[in-house]
Amino acid sequence: MTDRRLFTRKLDIARGAVDMTHGSGGKAMAQLVRELFAAAFANPWLDQGNDQAAFDVPGGRMVMTTDGFVVSPLFFPGGDIGSLAVHGTVNDVAMAGAVPLHLTAGFIIEEGFPLADLKRVVDSMAAAAREAGVAIVSGDTKVVERGKGDGIFITTTGIGMVPPGVAPSGDRARPGDAILVSGTMGDHGVAIMSTRDNLGFETAILSDSAALNGLVAAMVAAVPDVHVLRDPTRGGLATTLNEIAHQSGVGMRLRESDIPVRAQVTAACELLGLDPLYAANEGKLIAICAEEECDRLLSVMRDHPLGRDAACIGRVVEDPHRFVQMETRFGGRRIVDWLTGEQLPRIC
């Protein structure tokens, strides 16, 4: 079934070009992935449509995922491209309910990049990997001429093993399910924004960048049948929920007043005309589970340092239109659409 809201006009492959919206995590990216990459590479694992592929190997079920990191600036409040590259990939492994095993790292470095910055990035990756309990087992280094890159890009790939009986997937949200988030929304996006020269904006907000595998391990131990786990990175909570609604063929009803957002993030977003629901997160997850497991899951999440501010923010509903709707603080209701265009380029 085609979602007409998503694909009203096909990509113009003969005359079109890639633009910044194709990397934003929103509607344009979903279209590029669907019409170009997924069409060419079609296979049962990619067609799962998750941020990681799950497959059986002798001895168990494994997941594999990859992520490129082009964040600008390289060093930001609360992290840097190195720690982010580890956290992002560990998290995509963990969102399958899996225990991360090993990572690889591919570096594309621009000629002239200071070795001191490279060391800082690499040391930060190493520390993040140690903390998450994973090893960077293989790597690759390429160098491009000055002006053909931007300091450093890192692509990390991760594998992990899924415990028996655990199988969260973006297509498993069912009407009646509870929708939870593990903490405040938008911290990473606003932290990055605060560093951009042209915005001339300062804030005390740190990126939430963190490895969520410990939190997930506690969650699946308590509720092995959690239906969906996903981290709302590029495109934020709003876009990620729309992806899940699309995959599962359901609608969602959120309660704005229940969505945790730091006061400083709200203030910064208001100043900039942005919406925290579309701002990126790098240390938060969305969990969707059966209504009767909600309290137990929430309690386990709140017991973990990375889930202290966890909240139940709404319900999955039947909806052939697959709309994500929100009861606003003022008692109204609005549709929370996919990110269209770009809110902020190179956020991760």
* Interface with a copy of itself, residue 73, by CB under 8 A: no
- Of 132-140, 169-177, 213-221, 222-230, the segment contacting a copy of itself by CB under 8 A is 132-140
Site for a copy of itself in 85-124 (CB under 8 A): 101-102, 104-116, 118-119, 122-123
**Tokens 């560093």, residue located:** 195
Count CA atoms within 13 Å of residue 167 on its CB side. Answer: 10
Q: How far is the CB of 48 from a copy of itself (least distance, A)?
A: 8
Q: Report in angstroms the alpha-carbon separations of 314 from 33, 108, 117, 271.
A: 29, 41, 43, 27
What's the token pair of residue 272?
A: 């900039």
Among 27, 69, 97, 189, binds a copy of itself (CB under 8 A): 69
Site string (205-244) toward a copy of itself, x via CB under 8 A: ----------------------------------------
Among 26, 27, 31, 32, binds a copy of itself (CB under 8 A): 32
Among 125, 180, 226, 254, binds a copy of itself (CB under 8 A): 125
Task: Give the DSSP per-residue string, 253-311.
Answer: EEEGGGS---HHHHHHHHHHT--GGGS--SS--EEEE-GGGHHHHHHHHHTSGGGTT-E
* Interface with a copy of itself, residue 14, by CB under 8 A: yes
> 46 or 206: whose CB is closer to a copy of itself?
46
H or E element: which one contains 124? Answer: helix 115-132
Q: In whole angstroms, give the CA distance from residue 293 to residue 309.
A: 18
Does residue 126 contact residue 105 with C-beta atoms inside 8 Å?
Answer: no
* Interface with a copy of itself, residue 41, by CB under 8 A: yes
H or E element: which one contains 144? Answer: strand 135-144
Among 31, 91, 157, 213, binds a copy of itself (CB under 8 A): 157
- Size, binding site for a copy of itself by CB under 8 A: 83
Site for a copy of itself in 160-189 (CB under 8 A): 161
Q: In whole angstroms, give the CA distance from residue 85 to residue 118.
A: 14
* Interface with a copy of itself, residue 341, by CB under 8 A: no
Q: How far is the CB of 238 from a copy of itself (least distance, A)?
A: 20
* Interface with a copy of itself, residue 159, by CB under 8 A: yes
